[in-house]
Amino acid sequence: MNYRLIAYLVAVLLFCIGLSMTAPLGVALYYGDGSAPALLGSLLLTCGAGGGVFFRTRGQEDFYLSHRDGVAIVTLGWLAAGLAATLPYLLSATIPDFTNAYFESISGLTTTGSSILKDIEALPPGILFWRAQTQWLGGMGIIVLSIAILPFLGIGGMQLYKAETPSPVVDKLTPRISDTAQALWKIYIVLTIIEIFLLMAGGMNWFDSICHTFTTMPTGGFSPKNASIGHYQSVYIDFVILLFMFVAGMNFSLHYKLVKGNVRQFFRDPEFRSYLFITAAIILVITIDLYGAAIYKGIFEACRYAAFQVVSIMTTTGFVTADFEQWPVLSQQLLLLCMFLGSMAGSTGGGIKIMRIVLLIKHCYLEIFRIIHPHATTVVKLGEIPVPQTIMRSIWGFFLLYVGIYIVATVAMAALGLDMISSISAVATCLGNVGPGLGSVGPMDNFSGVPFPGKWLLIFCMLLGRLEIYTIIVMLMPGFWRK
């Protein structure tokens, strides 16, 4: 492994994160909220650390990145970014405890949205802006952001892209990986700007509009309001955020193809059709369940709240407009199921991903079919495209690891004193990068009551979920470090 090059690139990443603190610093100075010294100190410390390592490791002649180097840079980059993101919380004393500060920062960067804060609105605007910005940066991937500048350093980035986005199929949009990263970020930024203006048109002030957009597009879920989106009690705002959550849960290669004029690709894509069908079906069932239980006044109101919560959980955003712990058991069970399903591969969402679910179901069907027709030649297809066995093995391995980690972590959380519902949902929501759970970590509660070891376990789950398990697990294997 090229340790010097790894340190060099992680240093570049840290320096970029430090520079990004300029925006929340400007917000703090504008409001005069008292958090400016903490943000300035965080900026100087992060840029100083990144710049110091950068100058000590520059001059590297071998710019070749192996697959192992890429995995190490991604994992160490996320851990280092999490440490840098804690500085504004610690120096401003808004979250004085390191474990809680690291939990909040990793939850932000992994776009999970789980929080230990009891009174979010008590935080200064500069810190709230930083909190939202961590999700916006993490949404498309801090490492993908670095890929856009790697050509200026003379380094290729395909290994980073594979490690950062270990979906079933890595979909390169352009021949050069740096152009792919830039194309993704252009789409991401344009959608961000559109949502900001639409929210402002609905009556949100500029600060809330930016913060909520910064946490909608990455499917993050951090809100500057204690009651999340429910604070506004606005059908218009609910609809705008629901629409952009759904869009953010789609494969960004589809957005790219739409920009290029290939409109039909949206509805021809088999994963998108499954994503749309599953989401609509769950919304329909929950709407009927809520209407039948007379939770809301009419069918429209039941559909409004059902649709928002389903899309929010399905895309692993985590915004809420209702306390779904007061809903019937069937509705709660379906929302718990959504935490596992997740959105489309190649999106900013988490979870198992619709593509994997669809391919696993097709593979199971073919196994049953082979029992009936043992001599038939069958192959799993995604649309009309045959799926190689190597990809199917990877998907089954991912699924088994996901389920195994979930079971072990759930048992561990129960051993730490959490009740059954809280244990089940806390691990599901952190591993799936969703945000709110059920029980003591429900939509109207937070994670402050989780025991100290439990918080570190959930931090590990958040990182596993964001990097889709393999990237982290492979670094824990002894063979990874052998020459």
* Mean pLDDT computed over 283-293: 96
| pLDDT digits 0-9 by tens, 378-414 | 888 887 888 888 888 888 998 999 999 999 999 999 9
Residues 436, 429: contact at Cβ < 8 Å? yes
pLDDT of residue 483 exceeding 70: no
| pLDDT digits 0-9 by tens, 161-218 | 555 555 555 555 555 666 767 777 888 899 999 999 999 999 999 999 999 999 999 9
482 or 330: whose pLDDT is higher? 330
Q: What contacts 24+ positions apart, CB below 8 Å, involve 359-364?
A: 359/168, 359/387, 359/391, 359/392, 359/395, 360/395, 360/396, 360/399, 363/392, 363/396
pLDDT of residue 220 exceeding 60: yes
Annotate 272-295 with b (16+ C-beta within 10 A) or e (fewer).
bebbbebbeebbeebbbbbbeeeb
- pLDDT value of position 149: 46
Domain range list for the chain? 268-338
